[in-house]
Structure 1
Amino acid sequence: MIPPFLVALLGSAAFAAQADVPVVRIEAHPVMRAQPAEATIEAVRQSVLAAQVAGRVVELAVDAGDAVRRGQVLMRIDAAEAAAAVAGADAGVARAEADLINARAEYERARSLVERRFVSQSALDQARTRFDAAEAQLRAARAGRGQAATVQGYTTIASPLDGLVAARHIERGEMAQPGRVLLTVYDPTAMRALVDLPQQRIAELGGAAALRARIELPDRGRSIDAAAVTVLPAADARTHTVRVRVDLPAGTQDVLPGSFARVHFHSADASTQTAPVMVPPAAVLRRGELTAVYVVDGRGGFTLRQVRIGQAVGPQGEVEVLAGLAGGESVAVDPVRAGIAAQAAGPVAGR
């Protein structure tokens, strides 16, 4: 039998211990559920520059990681062959112009002779035909000259946008061929995440119009609200998934194309929200396979109660309680100190 003075002493110690343990009253409140999905970052504006003419690379002004401006010359291909083609086209134009002058003079002469009845009408017709042919030949020569000049312009590779060089695929002195990839340039101020979502998941979130997202960048340890979510109007016939583009806010720094991201989708529709019981993560005690919380028992002590928890879905990282706890109860935020208080109150309870 425990002496009365010891019971009173232990009881006062238990109440003092409970007073030192912070507690929180839990309630069921609506929480926006998120559906996580793995994603890949890509640049909204990216250009893969390829060669359009054959030739040796004679100048290479940039490397991977360099900042470039729109219109800046990045690379030059040997233009000797293209310059020779332009010179040949210029000579063709000069010859066609000379032929046209000669054909025009012959036509004017024939027309004068026909008026004085020195030659027949057929001679005039032949002169007219030669004149028309000379005009057509000049137009063809000028078109050929323009084509040769265009090809010569392909020997200079310029940046189509302001941004960074993501990769360089050729070395100086190597031979470029039409279609060979030379450089990859992207704009780092406009990035987005690409996700392939099952059609059913999009329907569960309220459809494409109600879709909202938050982008988690694990390597950077931060999360960013998406600027826009675009669901492409086509599904993959093999996987039955839909491609979703999730835009990052303009000017987001330190995000690299091809890097991993995690996108948390949720719906903007309030009807899709649930009202689970949430507890602070610090209140959950884990001991092996046991998951429990210390609940205020209303008699000045704490009771250890086993619970089944779900995922962290609250705004402050609160943990959802699936079973074992009801709204309106109070739990200890510090389970270690609550356990000490419960042990101190044990003899009183067993009196």
Structure 2
Amino acid sequence: MISLLRYPCHSSIQMFMAICLLSAFPSVYATETVTAKMTSGQTVRTLDGVTEAVHQSTISAQVTGRVERLFFDVGDYVKKGEILVQFRDREVRARYNAAKAEYKEAEKEYRRIQDIFTKKLVARAAVDKAEARFKSARARLEQSNENLRNTRVHAPYSGIVVKRSIQVGELARVGQQLMTGLSLEALRVVVNVPQDMINAIRILKQARVYLPDGKQINAESITFNPYADPVSHTFNIRVNLPKQDFNLYPGMLLKVGFVIGKEMRLLVPLVTVARRSEVSAVYVVGSDGKISFRQVRVGAITPGHRDIEILSGLEAGEKLLLDTVKAARQLKSQGK
């Protein structure tokens, strides 16, 4: 029959035979077929989650002082260790210099008393007194040095400034908020999981995040809170993402699929399912070669958007047409 279609007919008899064959077997017009099969696959439950930064913090003042300079503002990218805020340090530096001088004097006196003590010219009490003064001076020097370092506020990690709570010239007190920043290098998705899923998720520890562009990424790891919310009875789970640029930002709503087991499912290629308003249907090729348009109830789409689960309306082993457009035309011709 293929040879009749491929090569030109050289007689009216050959043409007549070809037409008869095509009329008797209308499925020759059909596109490629595929067989619906039962497949063992993962049972995935999909929930909504919210993206957040792993590193997000607010930096507060560790000393009381007046802000001399702000090196960054909202929206700026900051590298780890760069200076964010500079306080006026004249008074703090003066106290540091005084503490340093006192320390050197106390150290010198302590060494002198120790030397005299070894010659048994002073009592032990004099050494103890000099040692106590030396240690006290050293503690004051260390505190003054810490205060001086705190007049410069450094970024604890690389990230973006999202909030500034201070102005140049403003007097900041210890504990007052200065800036808030976050890092986009490490992100996670926070999901509230129903209690009936938590045991399976804790055992299998598999999750995938569906991106807005249709792609999916596997979770780097999953972190569990060991308690449920007393009101919603859900568990807060953090799905950690790989450190890559996925064009994601904190606050974005994403779908997260959790693997909770395995099951047998009837899967067919997604392209075989035709949509008619709210109705899903497939073109089935019967044993007699005829095509029927059959409504089905569909389930979840597999990762990668290649296959779709058929919940009812189709049996394993039945053949479907892959090209629904050509199948529709052939079905129309079949009815004539």
**Could you tell me how far apart the structure 1 residues matched to 2:275 and 2:129 are?**
95
2:244 corresponds to: 251
1:139 to 2:135 alignment:
yes
1:209 to 2:219 alignment:
no
In structure 2, do the counterparts of structure 1 residues 144 and 11 end up closer, same or farther at CA, with 3 Å as the change threshold? same
Note the alpha carbon deviations across 1:195-231, whole angstroms, 9 max, x for none.
Answer: 221221123xx3413121111222x553212222232
Amino acid at match of 1:193: V
Structure 1 spans left out of the alignment, 5+ residues = 1-5, 113-126
**Could you tell me how far apart the structure 2 residues matched to 1:339 and 1:98 are?**
100
**Could you tell me how far apart the structure 1 residues matched to 2:112 and 2:295 are?**
106
Question: Equivalent residue of 1:148, what SS?
Answer: helix
Question: Please, which of 35, 38, 41 is the counterpart of residue 48 of structure 2?
Answer: 38
Greater strand share, 1 or 2? 2
In structure 2, do the counterparts of structure 1 residues 132 and 299 end up closer, same or farther at CA, with 3 Å as the change threshold? closer
Residues 14 and 301, structure 1, Cα contact 8 Å, conserved in 2: no
In structure 2, do the counterparts of structure 1 residues 254 and 303 end up closer, same or farther at CA, with 3 Å as the change threshold? closer
Question: Please, which of 314, 329, 333 is the counterpart of residue 340 of structure 1?
Answer: 329
| Bigger-Rg structure (1/2) | 1
Amino acid at match of 1:276: R
Q: How does 1:74-153 map to 2 (within 5 A)?
A: 74-90=84-100, 93=103, 132-133=128-129, 135-153=131-149
**Could you tell me how far apart the structure 2 residues matched to 1:169 and 1:139 are?**
39
Q: How does 1:153-302 map to 2 (within 5 A)?
A: 153-203=149-199, 206-218=200-212, 220-267=213-260, 272-302=261-291
In structure 2, do the counterparts of structure 1 residues 238 and 81 end up closer, same or farther at CA, with 3 Å as the change threshold? farther
1:308 corresponds to: 297
1:59 to 2:69 alignment:
yes
**Could you tell me how far apart the structure 1 residues matched to 2:21 and 2:221 are?**
59
Question: Equivalent residue of 2:206, what SS?
Answer: strand
Amino acid at match of 2:211: L
**Could you tell me how far apart the structure 1 residues matched to 2:289 and 2:220 are?**
50
**Could you tell me how far apart the structure 2 residues matched to 1:286 and 1:43 are?**
39
Question: Equivalent residue of 2:39, what SS?
Answer: coil
**Could you tell me how far apart the structure 2 residues matched to 1:98 and 1:314 are?**
74
**Could you tell me how far apart the structure 2 residues matched to 1:100 and 1:265 are?**
67
**Could you tell me how far apart the structure 1 residues matched to 2:159 and 2:174 are?**
25
Q: How does 1:312-331 map to 2 (within 5 A)?
A: 312-313=301-302, 316-331=305-320
**Could you tell me how far apart the structure 1 residues matched to 2:269 and 2:101 are?**
85
Question: Equivalent residue of 1:274, what SS?
Answer: strand
In structure 2, do the counterparts of structure 1 residues 290 and 223 end up closer, same or farther at CA, with 3 Å as the change threshold? closer
Question: Equivalent residue of 1:326, what SS?
Answer: coil
Amino acid at match of 1:149: N
In structure 2, do the counterparts of structure 1 residues 288 and 263 end up closer, same or farther at CA, with 3 Å as the change threshold? closer
Q: Deviation of residue 334 (structure 1)?
A: 3.2
Amino acid at match of 1:19: Y
Number of aligned residue pairs: give it: 319
TM norm structure 1: 0.75
1:119 corresponds to: none
Q: Deviation of residue 302 (structure 1)?
A: 0.8
Residues 63 and 173, structure 2, Cα contact 8 Å, conserved in 1: yes
**Could you tell me how far apart the structure 2 residues matched to 1:253 and 1:151 are?**
41
Structure 2 spans left out of the alignment, 5+ residues = 1-15
Q: Deviation of residue 240 (structure 1)?
A: 2.5
**Could you tell me how far apart the structure 2 residues matched to 1:250 and 1:94 are?**
50
